[in-house]
Amino acid sequence: MAPRTLNRLALTPAVALAALIGFAAAPAQAAVWSSSDQWGTYTTSDNYTLYNNIWGSGAGTQSIWANSSSDWGVWADHPNTGGIKSYPNAKKVVNKPIGSLSSLTSTYNVTVPSSGAYNTSYDIWDSDYDYEVMLWVNYNGAVGPLGTSQGNVTLGGHTWTVYKGDNGANQVFSFLRTSDSTSGTVDILPILKWIKDTKGWWGNETIGDVQFGYEITSSAGGLDFRTNGFGVSAR
Question: Does residue 9 carry a pLDDT above 80?
Answer: no
Which residues are paired to 171 by β-bridges? Answer: 131, 166
The pLDDT tens digits of the residues spanning 160-203 come to: 999 999 999 999 999 999 999 999 999 999 999 999 999 999 99
- Rounded to whole angstroms, the Cα distance separating 24 from 9 reads 27
Q: Is residue 93 part of a domain?
A: yes
At 29, is the pLDDT very low, low, confident or very high (cuts 50, 70, 90)? low
Task: Count the helices and strands in the chain (H runs, E runs).
Answer: 2, 15
Q: How many structural domains comprise the chain?
A: 1
- Rounded to whole angstroms, the Cα distance separating 88 from 213 reads 6
Q: Is residue 4 part of a domain?
A: no
- Residue 205, domain extent: 19-234
Q: Is residue 86 part of a domain?
A: yes
Instruction: Return the higher-pLDDT residue of 226 and 6.
Output: 226
- Rounded to whole angstroms, the Cα distance separating 9 from 27 reads 30
Q: Is residue 182 part of a domain?
A: yes
Question: Does residue 59 carry a pLDDT above 90?
Answer: yes
Q: Is residue 187 part of a domain?
A: yes
Please give the mean pLDDT across all residues of the chain.
Answer: 90
Residue 46 DSSP symbol: T
What pLDDT does 27 receive? 55
Question: Does residue 6 carry a pLDDT above 70?
Answer: no
Q: What are phi and psi of 21, to 5 degrees?
A: -65, -40
| Cα four-point dihedral sign 71, 213, 123, 105 | positive
Question: Does residue 2 carry a pLDDT above 50?
Answer: no
The amino acid that residue 233 corresponds to is S
pTM to 2 decimal places:
0.89
